[in-house]
Amino acid sequence: MSEHELIQKLSVSKERFDNALEIGDKTTLASVMSSLPVEDLALLLTTLSDNDLREFASLTKTFFDLEVVLELGVRQKKLLIEALDIANRLDEIKNWDTDDLMSLLDFMSWEEKQRALAACAPQDREILALMGSYPEGTAARLLERSMVVVPSLWRAEETVQHITNAEGIPEEFQEVYVVNLRNQLVGVVYVGTLLRADQKMLMQDLAKDVHRIAASMEQEEVVYAFRHYNLLTAPVESIDGQLLGIVSADDIMSIADEEAGEDMLKLAGVSHTDEAAPAHVQTMHRVIWLSVVVMNSLLSALVIEHFQTTIEHKGVLAALMTLVSAVGGAAGTQVLAVSIRGLSLRVFQAKGVGSIFAREMGINLMGSLMVGAILAAVTYFWLGEVILSTIVFLSLLFSMSFAAVCGVYLPWAIHRLGFDPTISAAPLVGAVCDVLGFSVFLWLASMAMGVSG
């Protein structure tokens, strides 16, 4: 189905969905829900207010597919877990993958968690307890046990027989994990290799090493590892090297999408929870960001006030200085976007900050020469003054060069201090580029015209 067809289908479904919800028509709601994949239904639910979502849960509680909850954001997931009374519907979720179960347990009370754990199979209970012992946001919280594990001293034929006859073998898998007597990972044997190998060979001799994930690793680091090494699955190990489970690409893709969306919103000063938050919460989040913009504007106003005599002497400077500041700020934003992405993809660690800076400085210098020449020519043909044209050119050259400095080193420094540059760097780069752009332009104009301040 094409994107256009999908949007059209969802639009029709949403209209039926909204009308049915408004009049409390359970039959139509059930029809719409059964006609949509879990992911598309979750997308519809994200458009509902909290009150409408509670009403929807009340109407559909008896036939609601609980897997839809897994596709929702934190706020809506928490609301539905309570509204659907999932803690008392454990028979419907006890056979889920452990990472999916964990995402629900995080929102339950201690008593509800204990009941949920008691309803699970012993092996799942053990792994869930282990996952819960690690902080949120770590690789351990993504553990799955849908894997095939065999001893290193088994022969290939024994492994094939085990896969064929044993219960609990996943329906789909690509590799067999080989462990020693201490449950430490020896390596993996891919199914194709297993089937083509001499069936008398030991699994430890067929095993190949694979990239391993520490259970305590931050999920952002796990995303990077999957991207960098093109992984589909990866084994997760405890601190003493014991195999705990695996992490799969589908979970990693979800986290990567969430992080990308969060970073984009942070650059604009909007929280990733704003879409589902009440209006007053959204307002407070945005006012904080706007306050930083106000401070930036006040600094720029102080600079302009300092050079008031210069501006009065040549009124057209007020128009020209906004051009210089705007272009410098845009250049800073471009470099900042590259830097944020570079920090996210570990390019800074691989190439070094000096190499990144040299490249961005070269790009901005070439850009400033071209854009500066164009603006200088426009200024000359507009005003017929060589001095003003030269001031515009030199100011733009400085502004775009300093934009490269701020755009690279400010987010890098913030990152080294342990803060999130996605949130902090944008207003700082904007403030510095604006203030310095105005300062340099008006200072050069003062010097050229012999005006003091």
pLDDT tens-place string over residues 377-427: 999 998 888 998 999 999 999 999 989 998 999 889 888 887 778 766 777
Residues comprising the chain, all counted: 453
Token pair for 80: 């539905």
**Residues forming beta bridges with residue 175, ordered by sequence position:** 190
Give the DSSP letter string of 1-64: --HHHHHHHHHHHHHHHHHHHHHT-HHHHHHHHHHS-HHHHHHHHTTS-HHHHHHHHHHHTTT-
How much is the mean pLDDT over the chain?
84
Taking only the tens place, the pLDDT of each residue in 416-446 is 887 778 766 777 788 788 888 888 888 998 8
- Cα(42)–Cα(71) distance, integer angstroms: 6
Contacts of 427 (CB under 8 A, 6+ apart): 269, 289, 292, 293, 296
Task: Tell which CATH classification among 3.40.50.150, 1.20.1060.10, 1.10.357.20, 1.20.1250.20 matches the domain 279-449.
Answer: 1.10.357.20
How many C-beta neighbours within 10 Å does residue 64 have?
22
One-letter identity of residue 99: D
- Cα(260)–Cα(337) distance, integer angstroms: 12
Question: For the chain, first and last CA: distance in Å?
Answer: 65
Domain range list for the chain: 3-137, 148-252, 279-449
∠ CA 284-290-295 to the nearest 5 degrees?
130
- Cα(210)–Cα(193) distance, integer angstroms: 15
Residue 376, pLDDT score: 92
**Cβ 310 vs Cβ 451: under 8 Å:** yes
How many C-beta neighbours within 10 Å does residue 283 have?
13
Determine what percent of the chain is predicted with pLDDT higher than 90. 26
Residue 181, pLDDT score: 93
Reduced to 3 states, what is the DSSP secondary structure of residue 183? coil
Task: Tell which CATH classification among 1.10.150, 1.25.60, 1.10.760, 1.10.3470 matches the domain 3-137.
Answer: 1.25.60
Closest Cα partner for 390 from 324, 453, 333? 324
- CA–centroid distance for 143 within its chain: 20
Question: Does pLDDT of 369 surpass 90?
Answer: yes
Token pair for 285: 């989040």
- Cα(89)–Cα(65) distance, integer angstroms: 12
Q: Which residue has the tokens 């515009």?
A: 392
- Cα(433)–Cα(364) distance, integer angstroms: 13
The count of C-alpha atoms lying within 13 angstroms of the C-alpha of 225, restricted to the half-sphere facing its C-beta, is 21
Token pair for 66: 């609980």
Question: What average pLDDT does the segment 260-286 reach?
Answer: 60
Sorting pLDDT into bands at 50, 70 and 90, what band is 77?
confident
Reduced to 3 states, what is the DSSP secondary structure of residue 218? strand
- What distances in angstroms separate CA 148 from CA 124, 167, 178, 239, 246, one per listed residue? 15, 11, 9, 22, 10
**Cβ 134 vs Cβ 142: under 8 Å:** no
∠ CA 231-143-193 to the nearest 5 degrees?
45
- Cα(412)–Cα(408) distance, integer angstroms: 6
Residue 202, pLDDT score: 96
Token pair for 229: 């090494």
Determine what percent of the chain is predicted with pLDDT higher than 70. 90
Sorting pLDDT into bands at 50, 70 and 90, what band is 275?
low
Model's pTM, two decimal places?
A: 0.63
Residue 274, pLDDT score: 46
Taking only the tens place, the pLDDT of each residue in 214-264 is 999 988 888 888 888 888 899 999 998 899 999 988 888 877 766 665 666
Please determine whether the domains at 3-137 and 148-252 fall in the same fold group of CATH. no
Strands 233-237 and 148-151: unpaired
Fold of 148-252: CBS-domain (3.10.580)
Token pair for 217: 């690793």
